[in-house]
Amino acid sequence: MSGVADGAAAPKKPGPPPKKEVKILMIHGFTQNGNLFRAKTRALEKALTKLLAPISLVPQLFYPTGPIRLKPSDMPFYEPPADGAAASDYEPETYAWWRRNEATAQYAGIDKGMATLAGAIREAGGVDGVIGFSQGGCAAGILAGALEGNSRRPLPDPAVDDDTEAWATALREANGGRPLKFCVVYSGFRAADPDVAWLFDPKIATPTLHVLGSLDTAVDESRSQTLIQACENPLVVTHPGGHHVPVAKEWVMPLAGFIKQHVYDKELKSEL
């Protein structure tokens, strides 16, 4: 005898949750560009998409290019011609978000770099999170702090620093006044420019994941710790490699879990 009454429809199994986009700003490192960073992280993007599919999260990654074009002499380990000949006219497709003034520690061009990121956020219709590598990881920390809003982090007085106030305001407006849900930093470090010290006091409250390379000689662990220690409850993962973004599935899994925790799980709790 059937347990279902004649003519009664069997209860439907709940379907998968509706798909939800997770918009992520991808910030490349010094001497890179958006297209190159995308090529280097293509495997990460594919693995992340597969890992988030069971919970119907669909990552949408955006890859802007820094506004400051670099010359060969700006490259690390550059050596001028031994015979004193003029540098070639070759201009590589290498860019930065700013240049550091070694005498003052200030970041020349940071206003242009942040304006470019504000434009990318605006064009995306706002973003949920950010992933940055090296100088881009430093920029990700700046972005996370700047977007936390006036209640936690009042803007600097424009009478004292109108440039910083202008780009921080542009970033907040571009993201609709919303803070980031997460910030992921690969081989990053805290910004040394004294003009952005206000972004780290109080500490960054945005959830952060810091991925370090145990063999990284370009940005060693002590330098990465300067940003880690400026964040509340940071999560730190170390891979057995050098100065790069690890794209193997085993190293994308912590990233997927972190995004799930701060996007999917938190939204479920808010609906209870």
Q: Where are the beta strands (DSSP E) in the chain?
A: 20-27, 57-62, 68-69, 95-96, 99-100, 107-108, 129-133, 182-186, 208-213, 235-239
Exposed, middle or buried, 43 (CB in 10 Å: 0-12/13-18/19+)?
Answer: middle
Show pLDDT as tens, one digit a residue, over the chain (272 residues): 445 555 556 666 666 678 999 999 999 999 999 999 999 999 999 999 999 999 999 999 999 999 999 988 787 766 665 555 455 566 789 999 999 999 999 999 999 999 999 999 999 999 999 999 999 999 999 999 999 998 999 999 988 889 999 999 999 999 999 999 999 999 999 999 999 999 999 999 999 999 999 999 999 999 999 999 999 999 999 999 999 999 999 999 999 999 999 999 887 766 64
